[in-house]
Chain A
Amino acid sequence: MSSPEHIHHPSPAQYWKIAVVLAVLTAVEVAIYYIHRDFDLGHFNTVLLLLLAALKFVIVIGWYMHLRFEKSTLSRFFTGGFILASALYTIVLTALGVIAIRGG
């Protein structure tokens, strides 16, 4: 039951490559932070940083946590929890005026 999953798992070399990607993404994030400080990037700053974070987030879940290689039940629950949390707290922050303030 659990053995087939090992077949698809990435190899250590691939794990290292993924780590390099993650490190580069982090470096880009920090770079954007400094660029934004000196040359105001406006909303691009927020959008870019969130996208980069999302990318790292997905890479760790998909490859390091092996969610890509697991049964779909697991990813359904996990994404379910994530989407629920995002939706609920977005509504709360909107209701409390936080998100509108940041957007403007």
Chain B
Amino acid sequence: MTATAERPTTTIFRRPSSTKGLWSWITTVDHKRIGIMYGYAAFTFFIIGGLEALLLRIQLSQANGEFLTAGAYNALFTMHGTTMIFLFVMPASSALMNYLLPLLIGARDVAFPRLNALSWWIFFFGAIFLYSTFIFGTSMAPVGVDGVGGVDGNLAPGGGPGSFNFLADSPDGGWFGYQPNAGPLYSPGTAMDYWALGLQIVGLASLVSSVNFLVTVLNLRAKGMRLLRMPVFAWMTTITSFLLLFSLPIIAVALFMVTFDRQFGSLFFAANAGGDPILWQHLFWLFGHPEVYILILPAMGIVSEILPTFSRKPLFGYSAVVFAGAAIAFLGFGVWAHHMFASGITPVAQAAFGLATMTIAIPTGIKIFNWLGTMWMGRIRLHTPMLFAIGFVAMFTIGGLSGVTHAVVPSDWQQTDTYYIVAHFHYVIFGGAVFGLFGGLYYWFPKLTGRLMNERLGKAHFWLMLLGFNLTFGPMHWLGLQGMVRRTWKYAPETGLEPWNLAVTVGAFIIAFSIFIFMINWFTSRRRGEESGLDPWDARTVEWMAPNPTPEYNFAVPPVVTSLDHFWHLKYEEDTEGRAVRVDHADEMLANIEHDQLNPVSPIHLPNPSYFPFFFALGLPIMFYGVIYHRTPWGKALILVGLVISLAAVIGWAMEPLEEPHGDDGGLAEHDQLELAEAAVSPEGSDPVLPPAGGETESSDD
């Protein structure tokens, strides 16, 4: 390989240059490596969140379970939800989007590689910050009217026997953090501060990457790739980024308000002082409902890539799928109050939001029928990615249908806070997003490793997961309809809920086992899997025109796109009866493509690695620890230390030469402090446009 990242000749700071080892990962700005880090982090949190779920299920497997204390139970369901949404599904989507977006649109990297690294490190430190609550956080019972309380994490009377009470010292207000329950009065202690500030950091990461992805899609598409020639996954990444861009500021404000309430004595949600808890619900769900689509749309994009490939047909109604995605996103902003039907909003609002919610079924239905239409009459190959894609369509449809039943307000009143709701959103998020993500992992594994995952293990994983999933979440429908309430750590034997609960627990363990199979498959296939070659799936889109594993520069020769499914049309043409026929020289052409892509004719300039995203992100959690303990002198010191680290990184970032040969960005002014970097940007080695103006030039250079 002749491709090299050229090193700058004049710098103030020595730029990191290692290509192997820990520092190369810390300083990388390569979207693929960043995607990989996102992926492993997300999967780690998937395991952690899964273990939390298993503990919950052990507790509920029998009536009057005595495995967990009430406090530990509250903490575990809070952290399970928070983890799975913010630390697993979102970063897992982010992993695939990061790795694939530039490849899908035929680009060498995202628009702002250093900001991309910044997003990842902010996410990473935010997640660590959030989880450090298990070590540093405290959760105390509210001080009661008689002034007692403030004891241990057992809100419920007595708490009863049970283990794992040490877990109780963590956030326990639910992933939705309803106020005033999660406010200073009813959740004293620091655990909910870790939750609010941790989510604040993680959210910032997503905001930064949403701008980055949008600019990438809008400005960096390969020649000829018009917007309506983009792969659907690239489209869904775009739409998801818009959702993030417009919904994250809302939750940022809401979380700031919580933090001000808890730390600085403001009264936004203090019901006893005139604050309005319903305001929290509005702000939270204004973000929270788009968030649902943030979780599902990437998976829909993945499935829209897999189904045509393995049906050997173009996606049925490409533009309808794209516009339906946009319509889902748009409507998704207007339905948030359906989470609040039981919160006493007016009948008019209930009717309006109920109707709006039902309309979402229309674009969603369009998508489902398009996917079915894609498979219809296709020559279907049931490889593992295809199985997951079909599983997605089936399971997501079930979840979607139970969702429509919540749109009917009186029906929703019966379902609110029961296991029926739990069943619904797991069908959508697990049956939907997670199945889609796994499908994507199997499908694009060769891009990562140049190898295929083992089909036998993959199929075992799929069928076990499908079985375990339905055994876990199917019976929750009837448990909910029988009146089993959410977020309650015990139920009485007389309720008759025990048999199905036991089944649910068994199902959860089957899922866990299937994930174990996946892990074995992943780690063995990475080293010993069958070599994939350039085009293992007979694919349709241009990311498969880059060699496997993907070289650092992605494309030596950026593709010039002439149609939707460009790659497919290079390989196939229509015969007189309109059937697709592989062109004679297809194999030769593929060999040529691979050869050309592996052997760049001239050096390719890649963005240079940088220390500063890492250190900028490192400052944030330190600052936020300081905020939590700001009443103490060392808390104030921490704020200062964090600020200094981040500020130093910003200055370093700004001083880092921009005039690298092609590629690096000046750091998009995204986070406010980053804008400083913008302002202070001072390219070394480039002459200013203007001649120095006589006496004005000061020799204050350091």
Q: Which residues of A contact B (CB under 8 A)?
A: 73, 81, 84, 88, 91-92, 95-96
Contact = CB atoms under 8 A, between A and B. Distances in A.
A96 B276 contact: yes
B345 A81 contact: no
Contact of B333 (A73, A88, A95, A96): A88
Interface string B273-304: 00010110011001000000000000000000
Contacts of B228: none
B484 interface: no
Nearest to B218: A73
A57 to B, nearest CB: 19
- Smallest CB-CB A-B distances: 3 pairs: A92-B282, A95-B349, A95-B345
Given A73-B218, A95-B349, A96-B282, A81 B246 contact: yes
B278 A96 contact: yes
A92 B289 CA distance: 14
Contacts of B333: 84, 88
Interface string B249-292: 01000000000000000000000000010110011001000000
A95 B351 CA distance: 12
Contacts of B276: 96
11 contacts: A84-B246, A84-B333, A88-B250, A88-B286, A91-B334, A92-B282, A95-B345, A95-B349, A96-B276, A96-B278, A96-B282
A81 B99 CA distance: 28
Nearest to A93: B282
A83 B250 CA distance: 15
Given A73-B218, A81-B246, A84-B246, A95 B337 contact: yes
B9 interface: no
A25 to B, nearest CB: 28
Given A91-B334, A95-B282, A95-B345, 17 more contacts: A73-B218, A81-B246, A84-B246, A84-B333, A88-B250, A88-B286, A88-B333, A92-B282, A92-B283, A92-B286, A95-B337, A95-B346, A95-B349, A96-B276, A96-B278, A96-B279, A96-B282
A95 B334 CA distance: 13
Nearest to B276: A96
A38 B246 CA distance: 42
A96 B286 CA distance: 14
Nearest to A89: B286
Contacts of A84: 246, 333
A39 B246 CA distance: 42
Contacts of A92: 282-283, 286
A35 to B, nearest CB: 33
Contacts of B345: 95
A96 B278 CA distance: 8
Interface string B552-573: 0000000000000000000000
A95 to B, nearest CB: 5
A89 to B, nearest CB: 9
A18 to B, nearest CB: 25
A14 to B, nearest CB: 25
A88 B337 CA distance: 11
B250 to A, nearest CB: 8
A84 B243 CA distance: 11
B271 to A, nearest CB: 14
Contacts of A95: 282, 337, 345-346, 349
B83 to A, nearest CB: 28
Interface string B218-256: 100000000000000000000000000010001000000
A96 B344 CA distance: 11
Nearest to A92: B282
Nearest to A95: B349
A95 B349 CA distance: 7
Nearest to A81: B246
Nearest to B245: A81
Contacts of B349: 95
Contacts of B283: 92
A81 B247 CA distance: 11
Contacts of B286: 88, 92
B218 to A, nearest CB: 7
A81 B249 CA distance: 11
Nearest to A85: B246
Nearest to A88: B286
A95 B246 CA distance: 20
A81 B244 CA distance: 12
A88 B286 CA distance: 8
A94 to B, nearest CB: 8
Nearest to B337: A95
Contacts of A96: 276, 278-279, 282
Nearest to B250: A88
A88 B346 CA distance: 17
Contacts of A91: 334
Nearest to B346: A95
A91 B642 CA distance: 39
B323 to A, nearest CB: 16
A96 B334 CA distance: 16
B250, B282, B337 interface centre (most CB from chain A within 10 Å): B282
A6 to B, nearest CB: 14
Nearest to A94: B349
Interface in B304-358: 333-334, 337, 345-346, 349
A68 B482 CA distance: 60
A12 to B, nearest CB: 19
A104 B250 CA distance: 28
B479 to A, nearest CB: 32
Contacts of B282: 92, 95-96
A92 B282 CA distance: 7
Nearest to A97: B346
A88 B249 CA distance: 13
Contacts of B337: 95
Nearest to A84: B246
A81 B211 CA distance: 13
Contacts of B246: 81, 84
